[in-house]
């Protein structure tokens, strides 16, 4: 498996990245950890005449935990998320999710930016970012702009990021309440058969807010306000959870693959969602 020939660039600053993107247009791609892109290039399913490696760009690898928000640079790896000391307290769902992505070696290379920016529906972070109501920061020829994660994904591999823009960071409000990232997969290294990200706030035994999104059950991640609404104001009892499952079922649109047919995925989506809600609720 040998990729087609390409030109490689490793610019030192973002301005150079942007000018390379401008110069080569559709023929150029930026690369973070490369663990999605390089296999595709080796299989010659992705043709990238100009490859721009972001590893030398300053300022993309920081995790900043503020009073109200957490900003995670695009080049922060899954391993960084797992081993960061403050993050486990500030947003434990990030660690819980990162641990369920791929395997140790891939987590050392796989980045937040690479995971969210491609628009690959199999990736876990997009669903999580929607759950956490993240804001994606991108920079392009016309300057920087922010896009809500919940508005970022348009179709498989199609996002609100323009081809000449680069994702620089994601920012999330500090999550509140209990959390869970529940994922069913066939084995380590597999993508989700179904996965659910849930963040729930409990006050006096009642759910006051809920955030729910699911992964790999459509061509984009599925954030479900209806499922959230089904929980808010309830004691997250069986009826409420069933209502949330029902709402989610209306939002997802899985397709058959080697992991199983549609009926199975719809069923497992509900089961996984229930488990995520129950676990998050127990931690709330």
Partner 1 sequence: MKDEVTRDERVDNLKGMGCSRKRVEDARFTHGKGNYVDDVKLDGMLFGDFVRSPHAHARIKNIDTSAALEVPGVLAVLTAADLEPLGLHWMPTLAGDKQMVLADGKVLFQGQEVAFVVAEDRYAASDGMEAVVVDYEELPVLVNPFEALKSDVVLREDLVAEDGSIPDGAHGSRKHANHIFTWEAGDKHTTDEVISNAEIVAEEEMYYHRTHPCPLETCGCVASMDKVNGKLTLWGTFQAPHAIRTIVALISGMEEHNIRVISPDIGGGFGNKVGAYPGYVCSVVASIVTGKPVKWIEDRMDNLMTTAFARDYWMKGKISATKDGKITGLHCHVTADHGGFDACADPTKFPAGFMNICTGSYDIPTAFLEVDGVYTNKAPGGVSYRCSFRVTEAVYFIERMIEVLAIKLNMDAAELRRINFIKKEQFPYTAALGWEYDSGDYHTAWDKALKTVDYDGLRAEQAQRVEDFKAGKTRKLMGIGLSFFTEIVGAGPVKNCDILGLGMFDSCEIRIHPTGSAIARLGTISQGQGHATTFAQILASEIGLPADSITIEEGDTDTAPYGLGTYGSRSTPVAGAATAMAGRKIRAKAQMIAAYLLEVHDDDVEFDVDRFVVKGAPEKFKTMKEIAFAAYNQAIPGMEPGLEAVSYYDPPNMTYPFGAYVCVMDIDVDTGVTEIRRFYALDDCGTRINPMIIEGQVHGGLTEALAVALGQEIAYDDMGNVKTGTLMDFFLPTAWEVPNYETDYTVTPSPHHPIGAKGVGESPHVGGVPCFSNAVQDAFRAFGNTHTNMPHDHWRIWKTANELGLHD
Partner 2 sequence: MSNKMHVKFTVNGKVEEFLAEPRELLIYTLRERLNITGPHIGCETSHCGACSVTIDGKSVKACTMFAVQADGADITTIEGIGGPDDLHPLQNAFKEHHGLQCGYCTPGMITRATKLLEENPNPTEEEIRFGMAGNICRCTGYQNIIKAIQHAAAEMNAAKEAAE
The contact set with partner 2 (CB under 8 A) reads 1-8, 10, 34-35, 38-39, 41-43, 51, 53, 55, 79, 102-106, 108-109, 188-189
If the CB atoms of residues 10 and 150 are measured against partner 2, the closer one turns out to be: 10
If the CB atoms of residues 1 and 67 are measured against partner 2, the closer one turns out to be: 1
CA distance 195 to 98: 13
By CB under 8 A, the residues from 18 to 47 that bind partner 1 are 43-44
Partners of 145 in the β-ladder? 138
Q: Which of 144, 155, 158, 188 binds partner 1 (CB under 8 A)?
A: 188
Q: Which of 272, 276, 277, 284 binds partner 1 (CB under 8 A)?
A: 272
Binding-site partner at residue 104 among partner 1, partner 2, none, CB < 5 to 8 Å by type: partner 2
Binding-site partner at residue 106 among partner 1, partner 2, none, CB < 5 to 8 Å by type: partner 2
Residue 253 tokens, joined: 């649109």
Binding-site partner at residue 259 among partner 2, partner 1, none, CB < 5 to 8 Å by type: partner 1
If the CB atoms of residues 45 and 67 are measured against partner 2, the closer one turns out to be: 45
If the CB atoms of residues 102 and 166 are measured against partner 1, the closer one turns out to be: 102
According to the 3-state scheme, what is the secondary structure of the chain? CCCCCCEEECCCCHHHHHHHHHHHHHHEEEECCCCCHHHHHHCCCCCCCEEEECCCCCCCCCEEECCCEEEEECCCEHHHHHHCCCHHHHCHHHHHHHCCCCCHHHHHHCEHHHHHHCCCCCCCHHHHHHHCCCEEEEEECCEEEEEEHHHCEEECCEECCCCCCEEEEEEEECCCCEEEEEEECCCCCCCCCEEEEEEEEEECCEEEEEEEEEECCCCCCEECHHHHHHHCCCCCCHHHHHHHHHHHHHHCCCCCECCECHHHHHHHHHHHHHHHHHHHHHHC
State in angstroms the smallest separation of the CB of 16 from partner 2.
Answer: 16
State in angstroms the smallest separation of the CB of 216 from partner 1.
Answer: 13
Distance separating the N- and C-terminal Cα atoms of the chain: 48
Half-sphere exposure of 254 (CA within 13 A, CB side): 26
5 is a site residue for partner 1 (CB under 8 A): yes
CB 66 within 8 A of CB 172: no
259 is a site residue for partner 1 (CB under 8 A): yes
Q: Which of 112, 268, 273, 280 binds partner 1 (CB under 8 A)?
A: 268
Binding-site partner at residue 260 among partner 1, partner 2, none, CB < 5 to 8 Å by type: partner 1
Binding-site partner at residue 51 among partner 2, partner 1, none, CB < 5 to 8 Å by type: partner 2
Q: Which of 10, 264, 266, 283 binds partner 1 (CB under 8 A)?
A: 264
State in angstroms the smallest separation of the CB of 12 from partner 1.
Answer: 28
Catalog residues that contact partner 1 under the rule CB under 8 A: 1-2, 4-5, 43-44, 103, 184, 186-191, 193, 258-261, 263-264, 267-268, 271-272
């Amino acid at each position: 498996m040998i990729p087609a020939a390409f030109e490689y660039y490793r610019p030192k600053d973002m301005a150079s990245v942007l000018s390379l993107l401008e110069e080569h247009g559709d023929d150029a791609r930026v690369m973070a950890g490369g663990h999605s892109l390089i296999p595709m290039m080796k299989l010659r399913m992705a043709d990238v005449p100009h490859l721009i490696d972001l590893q030398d760009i300053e300022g993309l690898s920081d995790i900043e935990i503020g009073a109200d928000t957490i900003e995670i640079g695009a080049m922060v790896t899954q391993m960084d998320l797992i081993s960061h000391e403050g993050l486990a307290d500030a947003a434990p769902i990030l660690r819980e999710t990162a641990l369920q992505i791929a395997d140790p070696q891939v987590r050392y290379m796989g980045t937040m930016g690479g995971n969210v920016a491609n628009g690959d529906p199999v990736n876990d972070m997009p669903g999580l970012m929607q759950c956490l109501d993240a804001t994606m920061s991108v920079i392009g020829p016309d300057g920087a702009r922010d896009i809500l994660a919940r508005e970022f994904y348009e179709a498989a591999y199609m996002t609100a990021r323009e081809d000449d823009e680069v994702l620089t960071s994601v920012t999330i409000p500090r999550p509140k309440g209990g959390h869970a990232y529940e994922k069913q997969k066939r084995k380590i290294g597999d993508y989700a058969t179904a996965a659910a990200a849930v963040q729930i706030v409990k006050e006096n035994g009642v759910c006051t807010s809920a955030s729910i999104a699911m992964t790999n059950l459509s061509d984009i991640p599925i954030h479900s306000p209806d499922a959230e609404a089904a929980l808010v104001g309830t004691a997250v009892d069986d009826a409420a959870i069933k209502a949330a499952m029902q709402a989610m079922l209306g939002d997802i649109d899985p397709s058959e693959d080697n992991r199983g047919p549609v009926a199975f995925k719809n069923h497992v989506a509900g089961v996984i969602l229930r488990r995520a809600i129950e676990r998050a609720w127990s931690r709330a």
